[in-house]
Chain A
Amino acid sequence: MADPIKLAYFMAVKEGASYLGGLLVTDTSGIPLDFRYTEPITPTRLQSILYGKSLEPHLKEEVIQKTLLKELKTPPDLFILSATELAGGWSGEAKYPVMAVQKSQESPLAKVGDTFRAGPRELLIQLAEGAAPLRVMFANSVDAAAQEQAVVKLLEAGYHMDLAEPLERVTAALQSLVVKDA
């Protein structure tokens, strides 16, 4: 029996002048298997000046994400983040495919399991009968072969769960943790 698919959902939020991120690992039903979050990181004024516009991408990708991934015992099968983060130039790791999932407003595809490639790194997946297809965008590090393998796993997981929903849970959990610390 194959190992169950693990999906990692990463989200980093900015609360005031601090940044914190969370990593949720779920099974194909969306049930949490692990969740870790970082302590809030508050850049100093000097760091903000020296890093400039690269401060936020650097913090999220190089600092928060890598710190959280070090805590994982086994690498995830899919690394999913928000479309906004991916559009910011996320490079990602070669160990696992990095992608963003987003609910679309497109017309449903013919049947469940159908895919439509909208671009070299973007495609639509029909996961539920009659529902709008899910938009999937891959990072630059994911080649075509890795994309095909990832689509198979997405279809399997999407049969049981809403693939975009866990990101909302991570955001809600981080906000609740910030309120609790305050």
Chain B
Amino acid sequence: MFGRVKDAMADAAETLRQAFAGLTVVAVAPEPFLPRSHGSATLAAVGLTGLEPPVTACREMLLLRDATEGKALEPFHALLHDEAGWATWGAAAEVVRMTPLEAGHATRVAMPPLPRKAQALGRMEPPFRPIPRRQLDPLTNPGTRRLDPTLAGGGVEPGLEAMLSLAVPIRAEDIHQLPKGMWMRYSLQLVRGTGENVRNLEVLGLFRIPRKGVADLRHDPGLGRILVRLEASAVQAPRAPFILARRKDDGGLVSCFVEDP
């Protein structure tokens, strides 16, 4: 393909060369330049003895006029040199010869790849970013205490004396449940023991109480029982049948231990 372009360019250059090959340069007397204006003022050049060098002051310099840097700047002086153009302006024209096109050297430029990922701009940073800090001093382990919740039983005290200070109710046995012979034997012993006439006695009950150690004895007619207050010796004393009776004539109480058959 480059060969064709090269040939085309060569043909074009040859054509231009042949087209301009017959031209001759003719010297033309320069004519004064006369402006052809309609009613406009004639352009005239005023010759001065000398041009005052214009002072160019840009706005920046004006701003810096009073500043120290502005004062230090040298003013710009324009110098007038020879101007040949004015003389040759209308007298001659310069023929510019164009150099024919030549084949150049083409270099291949690699295309930079497109970025695969568009960069997002304007992304806001997180408003708050915690800064981890390290506690250099570790927490000390708390001490462990132990409180024993066990409930101890405590001491045990003997309290038999205190218990014996309370009256002990003893229920009467049902004499009607006794065998008749046994009850006859008990009645005989009651008469002998109290010396009372059996017809004058009303039996209140048959009780089994300690043979000794009875400190006090009271009859509870409402419940048919006796209340005894005992001493410590009564605990180990044998139990024996005890008959309590009331005299019918004076209401007095009589009692005696009887022997088991």
Contact = CB atoms under 8 A, between A and B. Distances in A.
B256 interface: no
A172 to B, nearest CB: 6
B159 interface: yes
A1 to B, nearest CB: 12
B208 A33 contact: no
B169 A41 contact: no
B160 A29 contact: no
B130 to A, nearest CB: 42
B155 A39 contact: yes
A177 B160 CA distance: 12
B166 A173 contact: yes
B151 A47 contact: yes
B202 interface: no
B83 interface: no
Nearest to A22: B159
A46 B171 contact: no
Contact of A30 (B156, B165, B169, B173): B169
B209 interface: yes
Contact of B151 (A35, A58, A169): A58
A173 B162 contact: yes
Contact of A173 (B149, B163, B169, B234): B163
A-side interface mostly: mixed
Interface in A56-85: 58-59, 63-64, 66-68, 70-71
Contacts of B61: none
A27 B235 CA distance: 10
A41 B156 contact: no
Contacts of B174: 112, 129
Interface residues of A, number: 44
Interface residues of B, number: 31
A36 interface: yes
A173 to B, nearest CB: 5
Nearest to A34: B160
A160 B171 contact: yes
A32 interface: yes
A105 B239 CA distance: 32
Nearest to A43: B151
Given A31-B230, A31-B235, A46-B147, A160 B153 contact: no
A169 B155 contact: no
Given A31-B210, A31-B235, A33-B235, A24 B151 contact: no
Nearest to A176: B162
Given A27-B239, A51-B149, A35 B162 contact: yes
Contact of B160 (A35, A40, A47, A160): A35
A24 to B, nearest CB: 6
B160 A39 contact: no
A66 B153 contact: yes
A161 interface: yes
Contact of A35 (B159, B170, B171, B208): B159
B156 A37 contact: yes
Interface of B: 147, 149, 151-160, 162-166, 168-171, 173-174, 208-210, 225, 230, 234-235, 239
13 contacts: A29-B208, A29-B239, A31-B170, A31-B210, A31-B234, A33-B235, A36-B157, A37-B159, A38-B154, A41-B151, A51-B149, A59-B151, A170-B163
For the complex of A and B, 10 pairs with smallest distance between CB atoms: A67-B153, A35-B163, A39-B154, A39-B155, A50-B149, A32-B163, A35-B160, A35-B159, A37-B159, A63-B153
Interface of A: 22, 24, 27, 29-41, 43, 46-47, 50-51, 58-59, 63-64, 66-68, 70-71, 112, 128-129, 159-162, 165, 169-170, 172-173, 176-177
